[in-house]
Structure 1
């Protein structure tokens, strides 16, 4: 049994309280219940819920609406709960960086900004850390796109308090070879499918990834073999081999264009798409995005990963990533967040929304 969330405490203490409620993906209900209950006590918010996703909105009739979104789930706990604060001002624990510090900032703003200069939609969702079919934001897009309607969105993924625009797209393919099975003592009677995969790896090793500039941000691409499998036993010439290739592509390409680029590279081989997600353009030329960048006061950079900003982009909503955690610490046993960064993120966002 967890006590109710105290939204009057500072964002660092609130982060610790959130961290101490375990919420591994698909097990977010306890935390979602606490978030919903706390927000329903805020008189200027309209609160709605779908599964373990909670959406709270101001309805002030402002000329512009923005979304602040963050996921409630974490990766599996790695002997790093409960949270602990050290003498150097670092809060340690599962989810501190990715991304309960960002969620704490959202909750603090929701509870204390009665009359922001823009209408705000606060989105807290489930199952971001696992397969896309379970993603709570995807479910909201499918079921309640009207809940997400806005002019601009901020996904509070960890960025070390820097604005990261858009995101890469990602796809995975299997590049397959076939051969003929034989006893390895009489290998000349077979065709080795694993040996046939050597040119696939050579093409990958020789590939020069693109670096694409969009709105002044440079997106570095990556095309890499991430898995290889084949064969039956140590005394059998293999008759199949599969190289799994992951392409992280710049958002100047559609998924179809990115797939064709991969097919062209592996011409002559069977190429099977296994999963794909679009990138998101940074949209920094949009007035709402430009105002956000100015308020934060740091030079924006490209997001060298895929994030849920792509879901907002698909709805025609320009979006950026911004949060207090360090992305390099996400999913690690040593995950932590600096108290100063949590307070800085709250201060910057409060200045943007109340200035």
Structure 2
């Protein structure tokens, strides 16, 4: 009980510092591939609070370590954000942000710079109170997640050669414990036609008309996708449409669409592509169906290509990673947390989806704030998350021993 009080007291005492740090990193725009300034600011804060080691890898991810035990726990937060969208929808400057007694506002407040602020001070608390047990804790500020979720961890695992016991994802969960998410794919469908003058369209072959039945068939396919009792149903939506034509007075000679395909447990990327390829409109027009790839340079200039396939993943409730978070929550706050799942996608698509390293989530902020104008997070949740992060290695060490 005394240790519980000490952790909570420490976390509360750092409320002003967590808030200031979060305001500082919100003020630094950090869209995917432009995270350099915020990486440097995080490094400064890690050094200030006493991290044992701080690295910035060749991709540009920041890796901060505390402790030197044989068991490695990672806590991850991506530090890139989406852009602000339509500025007229914001009631305050998205980078200057705002702060009142309860909330902090700005782009990235919930998604997910708040998680980074709480992690850094959670690490400070675990060092100060001797909570590391037999663990080393790695705090990662990862890049390019908004562009290509999980790419950063493909690099960390494959190139940095880091494989933690488990990874605590600090994406927003409203301080609930999350243990899974649907996967996703980015699919392209392309039709070809023949252009001609628009005054005599019968002379050509309109690629847009070829695409029209495919779009309707995709809408129907959405209603008949796989289902998992925990994660729910797979889904798809047409998210973009493109065309080429010599002019507005001509028949289109090509058309392409992008599909955002969400995969539930049991669905594979191969079958998802084949479901589209089997559509009557696709066959009739000989449309090409393919998986997008991603090869954008990081802020450090490194290109690390990958296919745009991001697997679904679920950790069982009785897995030690999930039990560690539930037990830490119970000990600190006197009640069991709600255990649930994300609607959106996280770096877990690589960490567990590709590599089988267990993931579990707990973060300040709310999912519905992600990518929205007037984004905010809550100070109470920032403090609560810092306390829980501090307790995790202590609880995990005792559960393993």
SS in 2 for 1:145: coil
1:7 Cα offset (Å): 7.2
Distance 1:14 1:348 in 2: 19
> Hey, what does 1:3 align to over in structure 2?
none
Please tell me whether residue 317 in structure 1 is matched to residue 357 in structure 2. Answer: yes
SS in 2 for 1:217: coil
1:60 Cα offset (Å): 4.1
The 1:218/1:107 distance shift into structure 2, 3 A limit, reads same
The 1:321/1:231 distance shift into structure 2, 3 A limit, reads same
Distance 1:322 1:8 in 2: 18
Please tell me whether residue 14 in structure 1 is matched to residue 21 in structure 2. Answer: yes
1:101 Cα offset (Å): 1.0
1:175 Cα offset (Å): 2.2
The 1:302/1:112 distance shift into structure 2, 3 A limit, reads closer
Distance 2:148 2:314 in 1: 24
- TM-score in terms of structure 1 length: 0.84
Aligned-CA RMSD value: 2.9
265-274 or 325-334: bigger deviation: 265-274
Show structure 2 runs of 5+ residues with no match: 1-12, 88-92, 294-307, 330-335, 396-401
Distance 2:20 2:171 in 1: 19
> Hey, what does 1:288 align to over in structure 2?
321
Please tell me whether residue 300 in structure 1 is matched to residue 327 in structure 2. Answer: no
SS in 2 for 1:257: helix
SS in 1 for 2:292: strand
Please tell me whether residue 169 in structure 1 is matched to residue 183 in structure 2. Answer: yes
Equivalent residues of 1:254, 1:278 under 8 A apart: no
Please tell me whether residue 144 in structure 1 is matched to residue 176 in structure 2. Answer: no
Show structure 1 runs of 5+ residues with no match: 1-5
Distance 1:8 1:229 in 2: 48
253-262 or 308-317: bigger deviation: 253-262
- TM-score in terms of structure 2 length: 0.75
> Hey, what does 2:368 align to over in structure 1?
328
Distance 1:71 1:231 in 2: 36
Which 4+ runs in 1 deviate beyond 6 A?
none
Q: 2:275 aligns with which of 243, 253, 261?
A: 261
> Hey, what does 2:225 align to over in structure 1?
210
1:324 Cα offset (Å): 0.7
Please tell me whether residue 107 in structure 1 is matched to residue 143 in structure 2. Answer: no
> Hey, what does 1:90 align to over in structure 2?
103
